[in-house]
C-alpha cells in the first residue's frame, strides 16, 4: 500500500517532540500558536519542524475546531462474533447522540496497523474506539494529541487511556476454579496467537491458578492459534496428537471452544464425558451448540454503550471521572463442563 509506505517514511509529531526534547502536547501547542509556550521552547520546536520538514495534518487540526459527527471503531477481526454485540452497543449509543460509526477491520494482522492509522489520520473524524491493543499503543504515542480515544474490551494498567472492559484475569480465574472444584486437574488451554491483552490476561490467570492450587503447569497443554472455530479445531487436534491425558479444555474464546468440541467428537471422544470444554464470551452460538457451552458472559452491548459515552465526554472536553470502567461478568454453567456428571 502506498499509503502505508508514506506513513512509515514521513516525519511525525512524535519525531518532532523527540528531536526538540519536549512533549507531544508542547509541539501541539506550538502548532496552535498558544501563548502558554515559552518563547525559547517555541523557537526550538519551530527550528526542529523546519529541519525535519514536518508538515502537520491539516485535517487533524480541523478536528479541534469542528465536529464531523463521525467516529471510528477498530476491531481486530470482524469475523469474531464477540465484537458484533460491542459494535451494536457503540452504534446504538452513537445514533442516539447523532453520530455515525465507521468500522476499521484489522483482519488480525498487526503488521498492517500503521496503514490503518495513516488512513484514519487522513479522515475527518471526531474520535476513536479501539478494540485492538496494539493499535491503541501506537495511537497513544503518535496521535493521542489529535484524537479523543477509548479502549473497549481491553484495559491498560498504565491508565493513559480511558478503558471499558470486564476484569479478564478475574473472570478466567473464576472459570479455572470451577473446573478445579469439579475435580479436573489435567486442564489444557487453547488461546489466540494474536497478541491482544485480553488473551494474555486469560493465559496468565490459567497459569497462576494452577500454581495457586499446586497443580503442575504443563506448557505442552497450551496451544496458540487463530481465535476462530477452525483455529480451535486445529489446536485441539494438536493437543490430542501429544497423546497426553486431557480432562478438560479451557478455551480463551467461545469460537475456539466450539472448534475444540468438533475436534474431540471427530476423534471419537465425548464431551463432557471424556473431556470437558469451557469457553469465554458467551456468543449466541454457545447456547445452541451440542452440548451447550459453559462460558464467561461479558456484557458486550453495555461495553459498547459505555465506551461511546466515555468517548462522547472526551469529544465534548468534559472531565472523565473514571479512566477505567470495569463491568461485571457472569460464569454461565452449561452441559459442556459436565456439571451434571460431577454432582
Q: What residue ranges in 169-314 does DSSP mark as E strands? A: 187-192, 222-225, 248-251, 276-278, 295-297
Q: Do 312 and 285 share a structural domain?
A: no
User: Which residues make Cβ contacts (< 8 Å) with residue 60, sequence separation at least 6?
Assistant: 121, 143, 146, 147
Q: Do 82 and 47 share a structural domain?
A: no
Give 220-263 pLDDT, tens digit per residue.
999 999 999 999 999 999 999 999 999 999 999 999 999 999 99
Q: Do 227 and 129 share a structural domain?
A: no
In a domain, 8, yes or no: no
Residue matched to cell numbers 471503531: 73
CA–CA separation, 112 and 309 (whole Å): 29
Q: Do 47 and 182 share a structural domain?
A: no
* pLDDT the model gives residue 10: 64
* pLDDT the model gives residue 1: 29
Domain that holds residue 263: 168-299+331-342
In a domain, 2, yes or no: no
Q: In this structure, what CATH number is given to the domain that contains residue 144? A: 3.40.50.2300
In a domain, 193, yes or no: yes
CA–CA separation, 189 and 225 (whole Å): 11
User: What are phi and psi for residue 23, nearest 5 degrees?
Assistant: -85, 165
Q: Do 292 and 179 share a structural domain?
A: yes
Q: Do 86 and 44 share a structural domain?
A: no
Give 88-144 pLDDT, tens digit per residue.
999 999 999 999 998 888 776 655 555 556 555 665 678 888 887 665 555 555 555
79 three-class SS: coil
* pLDDT the model gives residue 159: 59
CA–CA separation, 300 and 14 (whole Å): 34
* pLDDT the model gives residue 343: 39
Domain count, the chain: 3
The CA-atom distances, in angstroms, between 197 and each of 6, 109, 136, 148, 202 are: 29, 15, 11, 21, 9
Residues of the chain with pLDDT under 50: 1-9, 58-59, 61-65, 340-343
Residue 313 half-sphere exposure toward CB, CA atoms < 13 A: 13
| Residue 191 · residue 202 · CB < 8 Å | yes
Average pLDDT, the chain: 84
For residue 215, give the DSSP letter: -
* pLDDT the model gives residue 81: 82
In a domain, 195, yes or no: yes
Q: Do 188 and 285 share a structural domain?
A: yes
Give the residue among 90, 52, 55 at the shortest CA–CA distance from 74.
90
Beta bridge partners of 74: 104, 130
Q: Do 294 and 219 share a structural domain?
A: yes
In a domain, 80, yes or no: yes
Give the residue among 174, 187, 192, 180 at the shortest CA–CA distance from 220.
187
Q: In this structure, what CATH number is given to the domain that contains residue 26? A: 1.10.260.40
Q: Do 337 and 196 share a structural domain?
A: yes
* pLDDT the model gives residue 116: 58
pTM value is 0.75
CA–CA separation, 281 and 83 (whole Å): 10
In a domain, 209, yes or no: yes
Amino acid at each position: 500500500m502506498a499509503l502505508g509506505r508514506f506513513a512509515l517514511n514521513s516525519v511525525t509529531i512524535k519525531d518532532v517532540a523527540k528531536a526538540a526534547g519536549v512533549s507531544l502536547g508542547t509541539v501541539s501547542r506550538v502548532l496552535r500558536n498558544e501563548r502558554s509556550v515559552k518563547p525559547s521552547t517555541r523557537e526550538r520546536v519551530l527550528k526542529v519542524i523546519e529541519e525535519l520538514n514536518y508538515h502537520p495534518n491539516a485535517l487533524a487540526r480541523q478536528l479541534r475546531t469542528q465536529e464531523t459527527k463521525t467516529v471510528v471503531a477498530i476491531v481486530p477481526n470482524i469475523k469474531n462474533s464477540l465484537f458484533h454485540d460491542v459494535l451494536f452497543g457503540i452504534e446504538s449509543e452513537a445514533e442516539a447522540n447523532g453520530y455515525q460509526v465507521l468500522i476499521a477491520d484489522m483482519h488480525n494482522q498487526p503488521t498492517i496497523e500503521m496503514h490503518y492509522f495513516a488512513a484514519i489520520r487522513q479522515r475527518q473524524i471526531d474520535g476513536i474506539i479501539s478494540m485492538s491493543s496494539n493499535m491503541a499503543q501506537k495511537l497513544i504515542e503518535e496521535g493521542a494529541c489529535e484524537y479523543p480515544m477509548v479502549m473497549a474490551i481491553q484495559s491498560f494498567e498504565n491508565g493513559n487511556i480511558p478503558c471499558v472492559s470486564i476484569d479478564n484475569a478475574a473472570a478466567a480465574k473464576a472459570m479455572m476454579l470451577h473446573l478445579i472444584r469439579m475435580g479436573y486437574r489435567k486442564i489444557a488451554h487453547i488461546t489466540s496467537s494474536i497478541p491482544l491483552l485480553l488473551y494474555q490476561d486469560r493465559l496468565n490467570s490459567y497459569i497462576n491458578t494452577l500454581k495457586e492450587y499446586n497443580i503442575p503447569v504443563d506448557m505442552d497443554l497450551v496451544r496458540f492459534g487463530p481465535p476462530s472455530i477452525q483455529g480451535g479445531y486445529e489446536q485441539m487436534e494438536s493437543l490430542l496428537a501429544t497423546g497426553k491425558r486431557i480432562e478438560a479444555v479451557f478455551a480463551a474464546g467461545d469460537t475456539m471452544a466450539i472448534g475444540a468440541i468438533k475436534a474431540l467428537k471427530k476423534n471419537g471422544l465425548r464431551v463432557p464425558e471424556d473431556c470437558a470444554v469451557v469457553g469465554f464470551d458467551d456468543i449466541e452460538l454457545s447456547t445452541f451448540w451440542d452440548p451447550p457451552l459453559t462460558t464467561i458472559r461479558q456484557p458486550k452491548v453495555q461495553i459498547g454503550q459505555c465506551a461511546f459515552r466515555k468517548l462522547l465526554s472526551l469529544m465534548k472536553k468534559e472531565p472523565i471521572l473514571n479512566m477505567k470502567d470495569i463491568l461485571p461478568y457472569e460464569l454461565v454453567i452449561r452441559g459442556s463442563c459436565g456439571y451434571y456428571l460431577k454432582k
